[in-house]
Chain A
Amino acid sequence: MTVNWKQWLGSLAVTAVVSSAVWAQESHVGNLIGHAAEGKKAYRRYCVGCHGSLGDGNGDNAPWIDPKPRDFVAATFKCRSTPTGTLPTDQDLFNAISRGFTNSNMPHWDSLPVQTRADLVAYIKTFSPRWQSEKPGEPIKIPAESAVTAQSIEHGHELFQKMECWKCHGQQGRGDGPSAPTLTDSKDQPIRPYDFADGRDDSRFKCGSSNEDLYRIFMTGLDGTPMPSFADVIQSNDAWDLVHYLRTLQVHRHSKENEVARGSGGKTVSAGKPSGGS
């Protein structure tokens, strides 16, 4: 048997170039430096079934998963600390891997060593050319939270109405607003608005569980979904008021916001009922 070993060497060279590109990709999470080559091994072990070997969200299990796995080639990420339309920071991706996504098949991977998670971030960034041509956005500044008062909750309710949040999330935050059935994501897949009313003490939002996370969500938006950024629409104090009101929609959750709302006679909560309703 004879072999064209020039072709073999050529293939090896191409492989080497691709490999070196992977090697060159790094992530920086705190003091950690993630390496794409190591991340590739972890990706093949943990992620490929859903996100696919090409990172396009078309893994073998993707057809049976709702919502669909993230498409890393498009490099559009919901959970960011950066303004809408920009790439997330490495820390954002690291946090998303660690935290997982509620109401999806993406579990929290915090049982993996932090180095492995940092390596995964580095490898995920190799799927899209955006990471070669763009830099991540600058993380938004989150001012100190304002005091929770009946007035702030009431003002948040007014903003909820004024900005028409209810159109998707519903007047009681059940995710059943009039626009809800029509919503689709950037891949034309049906998508459901977040159901605040179902929230318990252990509830989480798509991108975290704290008030700060909620503030960040509507100041950065959830890219790839109908949830826009309101950074150019409302001021930070207004945003905190909106946070306080949204917390009162989680009627089963023990929170300071609900205590204040109940202390004020439940006025703000009842105000959230559909207009014209009983």
Chain B
Amino acid sequence: MEMCPRRKGARVGCGSLPKWFLFLTLLVSFVSTSQPGYAIPAFARKYGLPCSACHIGWPLLNNFGIAFKDNGYQLGNDKDSPIYQNPAYFPITFRVTPQWHLENTNKVAIDQTGTEQGVTTHGFDLSGLDIWTAGTLSKNISFQVLPSMEEGDSFHFESAWVRFDNLLNSPWLNVKVGKFELDNLLSEKRFLTLSGVGGAWFNYHFSPQGDINGFGGIGDNQLGVELSGHNHNSYSRYSISLLSSVDGNPGLTTSLGGVANSNTARSYDVYVNVNQGFPIKGLGVQRIGAYAYVGLSPTYYWTTDGGQTAVQAKGNRSFSRIGAFGWWFIKDLDVETFYMHGQDNVFLGNGVATNDAGSLPAGAAGPTWNGGFVEAHYTVNPQFIFTGRYELVHMSRQANPGLAATPNLGNVDSFTIGYRWYPIMLSRAGLAIHNEYSQSKMGNLAPLSGTDQIQRSVMVGFDFDY
């Protein structure tokens, strides 16, 4: 292509530049000048704000988004009540993630060969469908209902709650009832990684080997009531939740060793989270916080019908997940840091019923572990964001001397890198191109050799909502 007509003897002013330089320049220009994104449509349609107003890069919330959420999805400009909306408005968003992905696990015990082999699967797939509806029923009464379709086309309610906001005209008093995400400032529901390995924080779901605790982790949505509050700009926040010991499963369903039993629950858990933000000039709002989850889980059941039907959870024993976190901003770079100390009761850790204490191995103890992660995001612009994470969970005490013979058993070391580019984000729809690679090493979990097992995920897909 001739961009400059040649003139006889004219060499100056019509030179040539390498093609790669032009391509690079155009690419950098495009990325650095992209228009900002527009939001999760349920609220964008209501308030007309760009999605980048609430999200560092959706779905990750920024300070304004945190304040909006804390205020019960209200901006506080006297237009929050549905009565002010066009009657055609309905607060609903669909989110779906069509993708191609590859999953690889080494050292899998293969029946046909009798040896450990690497296993790789890949193909086009669908992560599911979130039908997310949320907003206000009236001024200071907010709600969220989130039916989610899993692979296999079955539905479950990931969230369903109502919240009474600003009680006594105070932002420090809000009460939420139903099934909801725990008030984790570092939200697993809103993070930027989606692959098979990187699509969850291990710390948020970790359980030691051989443990029968039915608690799925602080990343699971729970059923209960939450009292929460915040100051005017949500830099200071707290929440206290009283939760049924059902790991978010309706029907008073407890579980033991992965087996669920409905209509058996009879105990409660407590979750507390406090955090504080403090702005540093020129850098952003830094946040630090601490949390504690203390709960109970059964070790056996009373049964009826000759042992066929569990009717009441028994032998409840305690567990806890406590720790601290920080979220640090250096302009467009933000870094999340997280620490957790976990502990399960000796009966839970050894899979022994409390009415069968004699079955505890000699030297048995409650398993304990420590974990954490560092996750960074670099926002090139509201439409382009890089992410990277290193995470580990290491056992500090195994449940019995037999397990302690392999002290690294169950340890996790993992990393994830990826980026999200939002080329199309209008006020009524958004599309992200999502590329991610993640890998984890599971300590001594190879079934035959007892060595470390590696899992890898590659994901190339689209994440869109409308």
The answer to whether the Cβ of A1 comes within 8 Å of any Cβ in the partner chain is yes
Given A2-B15, A49-B427, are A111 and B76 also a contact pair (CB < 8 Å)? no
Nearest-Cβ distance from residue A151 to partner chain B, whole angstroms? 32
Which of chain A's residues has its CB closest to B15's CB? A5
Cα distance A239–B338 in the bound complex, in angstroms: 56
Give the residues in chain B near A110, CB-CB below 8 Å: 232-233
User: How many A-B residue contacts, CB cutoff 8 Å?
Assistant: 117
Contacts of B35 in A (CB 8 A): 44, 48, 53
Cβ of A72 within 8 Å of any chain B Cβ, yes or no, is no
- Residue contact A2 to B52, C-beta cutoff 8 Å: no
* A53-B35 Cα distance, complex, nearest whole Å: 9
Q: How large is the interface on B (under 10, 10 to 19, 20 to 34, 35 or more residues)?
A: 35 or more
Q: Report A186-232 residues with CB < 8 Å from chain B CB.
A: 201-202, 204
Does A65 have its Cβ within 8 Å of any Cβ on chain B?
yes
Beyond A48-B50, A115-B281, 17 additional contacts (C-beta under 8 Å) are A4-B4, A5-B17, A44-B35, A45-B36, A46-B53, A48-B36, A50-B49, A100-B77, A101-B77, A105-B75, A107-B47, A107-B68, A107-B77, A108-B75, A111-B66, A111-B67, A115-B282
- Chain A positions within 8 Å of B308 at CB level: none
Q: Which residues of the partner chain B approach A101 to less than 8 Å between Cβ atoms?
A: 77
In chain A, residues 103-133, which have Cβ atoms closer than 8 Å to a Cβ of chain B?
Answer: 103-115
Query: What are the residues of chain B within 8 A of A3 when measuring CB–CB?
Result: 3-4, 15-17, 22
Interface string of A1-38 (1 = CB under 8 A from B): 11111100000000000000000000000000000000
A111 pairs with B4, CB closer than 8 A: no
Sampled A-B contacts (12; CB under 8 Å): A4-B3, A4-B4, A6-B14, A49-B50, A53-B35, A61-B49, A103-B78, A107-B49, A107-B75, A108-B77, A111-B66, A201-B169
**Pick the contact of A45 from B50, B77, B427 — CB < 8 Å?**
B50
Ranked 10 nearest A-B pairs via Cβ: A61-B48, A49-B50, A107-B75, A111-B67, A113-B279, A4-B4, A111-B233, A45-B52, A2-B16, A111-B63
Q: Does A102 contact B (CB under 8 A)?
A: yes
User: B residues 83-139 with Cβ under 8 Å of A?
Assistant: none
A102 to B78, CA, bound (A): 6
Kindly report which residue of chain A lies nearest to residue B279, judged by CB atoms.
A113
Query: Bound state CA distance, A97 and B79, in angstroms?
Result: 17
Tally of A interface residues using CB under 8 Å: 36
- Shortest distance between the CB of B4 and any CB in chain A (Å): 4
List residues of chain A with CB within 8 A of the CB of B22: 1, 3
Given contacts A101-B77, A107-B75, contact A4 B53 (CB under 8 A): no
B77 near A106: Cβ-Cβ < 8 Å: yes
Residue interface mask A40-82, B partner, CB < 8 A = 1: 0000111011100100000011001100000000000000000
Partner of A2, one of B4, B48, B63: B4
A109 neighbours in B (Cβ, 8 Å): 64
With A60-B427, A113-B284, A113-B285 already in contact, the answer to whether A49 and B53 are too (CB < 8 A) is yes
Bound-state Cα–Cα, A53 to B49, Å: 14
Most buried by A among B52, B77, B234, B279: B77
Chain A residues with Cβ under 8 A from B50's Cβ? 45-46, 48-49, 61
Partner of B52, one of A46, A53, A103, A115: A46
Judged by a CB distance under 8 angstroms, whether B382 is at the interface is yes
B360: interface (CB < 8 Å): no
